[in-house]
Structure 1
Amino acid sequence: MKKFCLFLAAVMLVSLLAACGGTSAASSSEIAHVDGTLEELMEKVYEGIGEDEMPMVANTELTADNSVYYTGVESSEYKEGIASEAMISAVAHSVVLLRAEDEAAAETLKEEVKTNVDPRKWVCVEAEEVITDHIGDLVILIMSSKDLAPKLHENFLALAQ
């Protein structure tokens, strides 16, 4: 009887673990395109962040003239881009969203940005943390404080859900 009870408990435990495993949020390889304009997606990246946690920011459309400053790469490397930066240049804060041609191009673009971006572009200050990532064809570059950058990255990853 003890063996049967142990066996039954083990079966129940395995069943419970299997049920709790469920399906997780879609991985970036399951998403080819994140829907929405870059402005809408930028709003979602900042969603839930308190005003006291971040500097005042303004969005700038990326062009051939300003792309290298914001991303470290030429504008020909992506389809469209937007940067959200602190309005006071003495604050090291920048969030950039880039739309690549497809997921494979996004992975390459992410690595190029990571390699070429300058976290000291503000001259007087340097970003404490630099994060590059992508979901499908959407690439993000976050250069900010060590407290704010992970929160922004978490919001970005939530776009995959």
Structure 2
Amino acid sequence: MSQMGRIIFSTKRLIGRHLLTSDVPALLDVYGDADAMRWVGDGQPLTQEDCKRWVEVSARNYRSRGYGMSAIVAHESNVVVGFCGLVHPDNQPEAELKYAFGRSSWGRGYATEAARAMLAYAHGPVGLCRVIATVYPENLPSQRVLLKAGLKHTSSLPTEDGKVVLCFLSEAGERSCARLRR
């Protein structure tokens, strides 16, 4: 493992790598932003303690599942610009693609680039045939990211609090899934 953390993908502009304890300030910068978090989970920003726990949970997920949340680092600056990964909220059976980026990185195409790379990682080395993503209908930028990354809108589901989420799906090709099942 490099000092940077285990790298899981590299694109033209970004590196995806395992989370490190040193990522807590960057996590807090992104997930502590109340405006950005209105679309995530219960809509509440995370605390520093929440971010520390997230690094620990991600490390456990990488050990037990082979995947989890990752820091997204810009090649050019070597700075963490956001986070993207595969998670199982509330122990749901299917892996779900999640991402969030710092406000200064919005509008640069980083989310789409990271989502595409994470899906290639999911369908390739990790061996997942299906990955889902959920988004609120009002979150149009995230819907565009998912569509550009190759996911397809499949359904709309009610949440426990009476809201609706749109469900998206990415499936590995039949040939890939057949190979993975062997």
Same fold (TM over 0.5): no
Please give the TM-score of this superposition, normalised by the length of structure 2: 0.31
Q: For the pair shown, which has the larger CA radius of gyration, 1 or 2?
A: 1
Give the strand-richer structure, 1 or 2. 2
Please give the TM-score of this superposition, normalised by the length of structure 1: 0.34
Q: Which has the higher contact order (CA 8 A, sep 6+)?
A: 1
